[in-house]
């Protein structure tokens, strides 16, 4: 069964969305992310994708108080990302209620450090974030293209024990133009053993239904919820 994972992206403590990862194209949807999270929980949703966009552009986690507030005021299982660059950042995130950590840039820039975290915390707690532009990995809040092939990247880390992968097609993110179904099919065909979470471009419940027909573990949904393209009640068939 497909897991529904709403997204809350944070800048200055507020719930926002970007267009294709562009910080200059920002829309503020709610001043209080905790209220947003509570509404998700009230609808039966059990998972949340929380991203510290300030942290993604800085030297460490910035909005940890938002994580703490949501984790103490809801029972949502939070996968948290953005700004995780040091051992201390992992400690801060887990101490403040993260269920899983979603890590991308360090996995590209410092493989040895990332693998040390994977060994210490285990594959159930460390998720690999694979942000993609033209089937190449993007890093640093999508500001840089690493030139690394997505399939080579995944193969390497799966061999090193990764079980959970969040894959975002940056060109789709925040566009409401549909999700990267063909990319996800290619990934699943090559790596059927992983738990793949699709992210970016969801425009309607039909996109969610299409992904549910594939062996996709979960789907992250942001703008479609905030722009009322999908009503929360439409997720009921996927909640268990």
Residues acting as catalytic residues: 9, 131
∠ Cα 59 65 68 (to 5°) = 120
- 36: its two tokens: 């947003």
* Strand extents, DSSP E, 20-93: 22-30, 47-52, 77-81
Report the chain's C-alpha Rg in angstroms: 16
Q: Please, are residues 30 and 17 in contact by the beta-carbon 8 Å criterion?
A: no
Q: Please, are residues 10 and 53 in contact by the beta-carbon 8 Å criterion?
A: yes
Residues constituting the chain: 240
Q: Please, are residues 162 and 155 in contact by the beta-carbon 8 Å criterion?
A: no
User: Which SS3 state, helix, strand or coil, does residue 92 take?
Assistant: helix
Closest CA to 152 of 122, 123, 172, 132: 132
């Amino acid at each position: 069964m497909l897991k529904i994972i709403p997204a809350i992206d944070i800048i200055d403590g507020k719930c926002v969305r970007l267009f294709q990862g562009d910080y200059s194209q920002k829309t503020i949807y709610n001043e209080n992310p905790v209220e947003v999270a509570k509404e998700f929980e009230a609808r039966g949703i059990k998972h949340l994708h929380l991203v510290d966009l300030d942290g993604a552009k800085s030297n460490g986690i910035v909005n940890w108080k938002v994580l703490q507030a949501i984790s103490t005021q809801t029972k949502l299982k939070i996968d948290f990302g953005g700004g995780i660059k040091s051992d201390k950042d992992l400690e801060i995130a887990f101490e403040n209620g993260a269920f899983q950590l979603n890590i991308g840039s360090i996995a590209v820039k410092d493989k040895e450090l990332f693998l040390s975290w994977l060994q210490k915390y285990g594959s159930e707690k460390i998720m690999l974030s694979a942000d993609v532009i033209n089937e190449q990995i993007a890093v640093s809040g999508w500001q840089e293209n690493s030139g690394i092939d997505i399939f080579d990247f995944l193969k390497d880390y799966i061999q090193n024990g990764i079980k959970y992968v969040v894959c975002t097609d940056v060109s789709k993110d925040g566009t409401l133009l549909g999700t990267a179904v063909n990319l996800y099919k290619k990934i699943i065909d090559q790596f059927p053993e992983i738990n793949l979470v699709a992210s970016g471009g969801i425009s309607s419940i039909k996109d969610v239904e299409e992904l549910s027909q594939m062996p996709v573990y979960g789907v992250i949904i942001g703008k479609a919820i905030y722009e009322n393209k999908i009503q929360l009640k439409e997720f009921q068939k996927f909640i268990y």
